[in-house]
Amino acid sequence: NAGVTQTPKFRVLKTGQSMTLLCAQDMNHEYMYWYRQDPGMGLRLIHYSVGEGTTAKGEVPDGYNVSRLKKQNFLLGLESAAPSQTSVYFCASSYGQTNSYEQYFGPGTRLTVT
Amino acid sequence: GQSLEQPSEVTAVEGAIVQINCTYQTSGFYGLSWYQQHDGGAPTFLSYNALDGLEETGRFSSFLSRSDSYGYLLLQELQMKDSASYFCAVRAYSGGYQKVTFGTGTKLQVIP
């Protein structure tokens, strides 16, 4: 099992450009999450999904959109990138509500917006 | 809302014991998790406490006091490879779902 994978690993964008980050998991998990991690800020939840076809806003959703068309995939989109979105983005998944305390993380995507 | 507090940095000697504290404020509390993250790596799950008391997993133990809104991670027989950041995370009921909120992390440096 690959666990949680993220594509791409690194990306540099110019202000105003758009991109999509892909997260895939092969553990049949119901819940999936997108976090951003900035120095001294810990992990902040952007959006999450409690099942195929569902999405919900997290702590810092502005400037991002998500989709969960298939259970195994969770996409994070930036429509018009800004320098404030320079960060490391982590995708995670968990079995479900009762196991949400144990999340499995992908390797991360390092995004720089110039 | 939810808030968590943990020290930003801790330094300890190889072979020693170190305790990383976490205090939280939240409603609908379910439990407290701990994660480890090495520089450049992804967070990995270490432990979870839903009830008061100590949970032991090898060299690592985690403690919870629900009445004090407090928990800690105890690392024994420290090794150089334990140098990493450690995050506590609160699981709480919010808006119809059980959400997990992470603290800002404690950077542990193990020195020879």
Interface test with B, best of A33, A100, A109 (most B CBs within 10 A): A100
Residues A32-86: tens digit of each pLDDT: 999 999 987 889 999 999 999 999 999 999 999 999 999 999 999 999 999 999 9
Rounded mean pLDDT, A2-26: 97
DSSP E strand stretches across chain B: 3-5, 9-13, 18-25, 29-37, 44-49, 53-57, 60-65, 70-75, 84-94, 97-102, 106-111
SS3 of chain B: helix, strand, coil, percent, to 5: 5, 65, 35
- The nearest alpha carbon in chain A to B5 belongs to A42
Q: Looking at chain A, which residue has its C-alpha nearest residue B41?
A: A107
Share of chain A above pLDDT 90, in %: 89
Q: What is the pLDDT of residue B2?
A: 78
CB nearest B42 (choices: A42, A44, A108): A108
CA-nearest of A94, B41, A87, A102 to A76 is A87
Q: Which residues of A touch B42 (CB under 8 A)?
A: 90, 105-108
Amino acid B109: pLDDT: 98
Instruction: Walk along chain B (112 residues) and give the pLDDT tens digit of each residue.
Output: 778 999 999 999 999 999 999 999 999 999 999 999 999 999 999 999 999 999 998 999 999 999 999 999 999 999 999 999 999 999 998 777 778 899 999 999 999 9
Q: At residue B69, what is the residue type?
A: S
Tell me how close the Cα of B76 comes to any Cα of chain A, in angstroms.
22
Whether A77 and A19 have beta carbons less than 8 Å apart is answered as yes
Asked if A102's CB is within 8 angstroms of B45's CB, the reply is yes
* pLDDT higher than 90, residue A100: no
What is the reported pLDDT for B49? 97
CA distance B37 to A1: 21
Which of these, A48, A46, A49, lies nearest to A64 by C-alpha position?
A46
- Closest chain A residue to the Cα of B98, Cα to Cα: A97
Question: Is A101 within 8 Å of B33 when comparing Cβ atoms?
Answer: yes
- Give residue ranges of A with CB < 8 Å to any B CB: 35, 40-45, 48, 50, 56, 59, 90, 92, 97-98, 100-108
